[in-house]
Structure 1
Amino acid sequence: MPEPQVNLAESPLAWLARRAGKDGRALVDQTQLAAGERLRADFTRAQLTPRVTSRWSEVSGAGTPEAFTDMVLAAKLRVARAMTAVGPELSGVLLDVCCFLKGLEAVERERLWPARTAKVVLGLALDRLAGHYGLSGSTQGRARAPVRSWHAPPEPPQA
């Protein structure tokens, strides 16, 4: 199955990453953008996007567990784990903005939130999602990197 095509021009996250706030920083930083786009890619791979029209190309048995490929099932599991890690309070705004490509104003209108609330909640959700994915906005270098393996010193030669 081919990789899902991502059009960054349609992504509300990419739009927010190109805009600067009053402090001059991007409304969504590169780590948050990477986390949100990773969620969107898994959501697309999991075939969770709603269909607008009928799908006539399916063979009989579609919709049964046997019809799903391992890639689709793995992507569904990754989306479910990400939503669990983010929590029920923040997962809805992530799905709306990252996966269903809703703008912040639409999210605020649908949820009856005050203006500019979705931006704050989305930032918190993206930070938690980036933490789940192990993404960090800072580089530490080798001196501060966590130990990934342990090598015992070589034994001295026997006399």
Structure 2
Amino acid sequence: MGQIKYIEQQIEGLDGRMQSVLVHIGESPLAWLHARGMLTARRYAAGEALRRDWERAGLRARVTMHWDSAPRQGKRDSGAQPADPTLTQMAARERFDGAIAAAGPGLADILWRVACAGEGLAAAEKALGWPTRAGKLVLTLALDRVADWYRVP
């Protein structure tokens, strides 16, 4: 078993004051928001469904070698064609694209940053040039639309 790692971060509390908190670095931003009552179970489930489809579709950046295209033992053909995406990957990509389209162009940016890329809400707001707390409102609207698209009860 690995050791759970925490980092200290400064966040703005509900009262508007900055406070120091320990953040479990293995926890997703959506899980963090849900655990603190800032996201309903429906919105959290919708965000997790979107993230799962993003990962299943193979859209996550790779940091290691992709071995699917390696030549088989005994073959020296350097022109190996990349493997075709699986049906599972293609279906996940279609669901992901549909969910992002359902969220809409003005809402999809923060949705992708927080749910898929694992960016914290404050970092996403800053990267998008939005005022503090605007991201939470826009994220909840996007998650509501995605929940409708995924038919989350």
* 1:113 partnered with 2:124: no
Q: How many pairs does the alignment contain?
A: 120
* 1:132 partnered with 2:149: yes
Amino acid at match of 1:49: R
| In structure 2, C-alpha distance between the alignment counterparts of 1:10 and 1:50, rounded to whole Å | 19
Alignment match, 1:68: 85
Alignment match, 1:148: none
Asked whether the 8 Å contact 1:9–1:15 carries over to 2, the reply is no
* 1:81 partnered with 2:98: yes
Which has a greater percent of strand?
Answer: 2
| In structure 1, C-alpha distance between the alignment counterparts of 2:121 and 2:127, rounded to whole Å | 10
Asked whether the 8 Å contact 1:31–1:135 carries over to 2, the reply is yes
* 1:52 partnered with 2:69: no
| In structure 1, C-alpha distance between the alignment counterparts of 2:150 and 2:66, rounded to whole Å | 33
Amino acid at match of 1:51: R
- Name stretches of at least 5 consecutive residues in structure 1 with no aligned partner: 1-7, 20-25, 137-159
Secondary structure (helix, strand or coil) at the match of 1:10 reads coil
Asked whether the 8 Å contact 1:10–1:101 carries over to 2, the reply is no
In the superposition, the TM-score normalised over structure 1's length comes to: 0.70
Q: CA deviation at 1:52?
A: 2.3
* 1:33 partnered with 2:44: yes
Amino acid at match of 1:10: E
Q: Equivalent of 1:90, from 107, 121, 127?
A: 107
Identity score, percent: 43
| In structure 2, C-alpha distance between the alignment counterparts of 1:82 and 1:48, rounded to whole Å | 14
Amino acid at match of 1:46: A
Secondary structure (helix, strand or coil) at the match of 2:69 reads coil
Q: CA deviation at 1:10?
A: 2.6
Tell which deviates more after alignment, 50-59 or 119-128.
50-59
Q: CA deviation at 1:83?
A: 1.1
- Name stretches of at least 5 consecutive residues in structure 2 with no aligned partner: 1-24, 71-79
* 1:103 partnered with 2:114: no
Per-residue CA deviation, residues 98-145 of structure 1 (Å, 9 max, x unaligned), is 110000111011111111111111111111111111123xxxxxxxxx
